[in-house]
Amino acid sequence: MSRSKSLAVKYLAAAVLLFGVMTLAGLASAVYYINPDFLFGFVPFNVAKILHIDTMIIWLLMGFMGAVYWFLPEEFGCEPAGIWAAEILFWVFVAAVLAVAAIFVFVQWGPGTETTLWLFQQGRKYVEAPRWAAIGVALVMLVFAWNVVGTALKARRITGVMAVMSVNMVPLVLLYLIAFPKIDNMAVDLYWWWWLVHLWVEATWEILIGCIMALAMMKLLGTSRRIVEGWLYVEVALVLGTGILGLGHHYFWIGTPDYWLGIGGFFSALEPLPLLGMVVHAVYDAGVHRMKTSNQPAFYWTLAEAFGNFLGGGVFGFMITLPQLNLFAHGTQWTVSHGHFAFWGAYACGVLSVCYIALQEQRRLVTVNGSGWVWAFVLLNGGLIGMVGSLLVAGMAQAFFERAIGGSTLEAFIAGQENPWFMLGMYSRFGFGLMFAAGYLTLAWNLSALGRRQVAAVPQPMPAE
């Protein structure tokens, strides 16, 4: 196996491990809603939650990198230009993630000085990592971008998919720089922070996963490159055409002028349209190929990606995106419901699909089968759908009792949180969270055990790691 592919396998393995840490931290955060005394005084809610969402960003990023390093040698017919740097940085990245996690758990906070932002944490959602670590992440992404763009230059050829990916590297890296500044004015701070959060996840990440899925489809179904590239361009046009100004759905209430109500509502209401097109596409592929592929799990996870992206982003996003309704639902468990469904559907499922593709080749399996992956698939998706359903109930109760009926004060907040519907949502979210965690364990076991027995029965040369 090429060096790039070995590195990809490392990235994917690290991603799956971190996915486990994320699940554990998510469960811990969820317990707090049921029993607020849980770990109080040792690991407060915010620390558990920071671990949860930061590991989510990191494992998905690692998954994307793993996917890209996997496909790079095939696209260009040579090793990436800076593979040595990427290999070193992988270990630096892993060490930094461990160090930051330790700081979050054991140091937790520092005095209100810039030093705290440099050494311990920055206290901005999703990008809490201290600046020294953020520099590391920026470096990793720079090398990643260089390996995509630089390899194209080295190979003196470019494919359409890689061209899109290369151009997309520029905003991907530039937007991350928003993780650094300290801006006193909260309105301005949030204004730029949303560029990082929304424009990453609803623009650059969508393009990146679109490229990865395009490569995956060529591999899984043998779709021709010309077709895949045509689709990719259409998708880019639609996703960016609606998603760039769809950013406005986060500018309703942060102090920005009210023209954002119209602009944000309008463009984000269009966002589900391209997602519906992807559903049709998925049905077409599934139907034409009659679900016949040598890699069932990878194929099913790509289907889950198309449907999850549509349901989580399209359906759950659309419920709360018009300003008159967002005024009530804004910043409630309803947001959490949408956030989980969308991130899961749009990105996590895609990364898991690539894991199975890589595994098939690495372990030299003619077909990927068995029932293990089915269990993992059902438990994870079932657990997730149960969680977002529970959160929807809780979110509706919160919006209703705290905002629409209540007066949005501390008293109204408490009334909403203690409402039986809300509590029901919190308990059942935790229950489905356990189901999800069982799915994770099955997945981890399946990924590590898959094909090993076959290898033992029919001796094969071990793939070079």
Partner 1 sequence: MPFDDPAFWRAGAISTTVVMSIVLAMLTIDSLEAIAPGGSHVPPYTVINRHIDYAHNAKLGRDMPTIGQDEPLFGRAVEAPEAAALIERGKLVIQSRACIDCHTFMGNGAYYGPDLTKAWLDPAWEAWAAITGAESREEAMVRFLMAPDQYATWQRRMPNLGISRDEAVATVAYLKWLASIDTNGFPIHFGRIKVSE
Partner 2 sequence: MSPVVFLVTSSLLGFMVLAAGAYALLYGAARFRESYALLIAAGFAYAMLALDAAGIVLATPLTPPWKLLIAASALAYFAIPPLTWRALQYAHREEGTHL
Of 39-98, binders to partner 1 (CB under 8 A) are 40-41, 44-47, 49-50
Site for ligand HEC contains 46 (CB under 6 A): yes
The DSSP string of 204-240 is IHHHHHHHHHHHHHHHHH---HHHHHHHHHHHHHHHH
Site for ligand HEC contains 110 (CB under 6 A): no
| Nearest CA among 289, 297, 276, 164 for reference residue 223 | 289
Cα distances (angstroms) measured from residue 254 to each of 180, 181, 394, 400, 407: 20, 18, 24, 22, 19
**Whose Cβ is closer to partner 2: residue 168's or residue 419's?**
419
The residue within the footprint of ligand HEC, chosen from 113, 366, 410, 464 (CB under 6 A), is 410
Degrees to nearest 5, angle at CA 137 with 133 and 142: 145
User: Of 75-83, 87-95, 309-317, 356-364, which part binds ligand HEM (CB under 6 A)?
Assistant: 309-317
Q: Of these partners, partner 2, ligand HEM, partner 1, none, which one is at the site of residue 218 (CB under 5 to 8 Å by kind)? A: none
Site for ligand HEM contains 27 (CB under 6 A): yes
User: Of 39-47, 76-84, 263-271, 360-368, which part binds ligand HEC (CB under 6 A)?
Assistant: 39-47
Show Cβ contacts of residue 62 under 8 Å, excluding neighbours closer than 6 positions. Answer: 11, 12, 14, 15, 18, 93
Tokens of 207: 């393009």
What would the x/- binding string for partner 1 be over residues 332 to 371, using CB under 8 A? Answer: xx-xx-----------------------------------
| Nearest CA among 227, 206, 207, 202 for reference residue 217 | 227
Tokens of 357: 């593709």
**Whose Cβ is closer to ligand HEC: residue 182's or residue 452's?**
182
Q: Of these partners, partner 1, partner 2, ligand HEC, none, which one is at the site of residue 399 (CB under 5 to 8 Å by kind)? A: partner 2
Judge whether 376 and 439 are in contact, CB under 8 Å: yes
Site for ligand HEC contains 38 (CB under 6 A): no
CB-CB neighbours of 458 under 10 Å: 8
Report the alpha-carbon distance of residue 433 to residue 27 in Å, rounded: 7
What would the x/- binding string for ligand HEM be over residues 31 to 50, using CB under 6 A? Answer: ------------------x-
Region 159-198 residues binding Fe ion, contact defined as CB under 5 A: 198
Site for ligand HEM contains 331 (CB under 6 A): yes
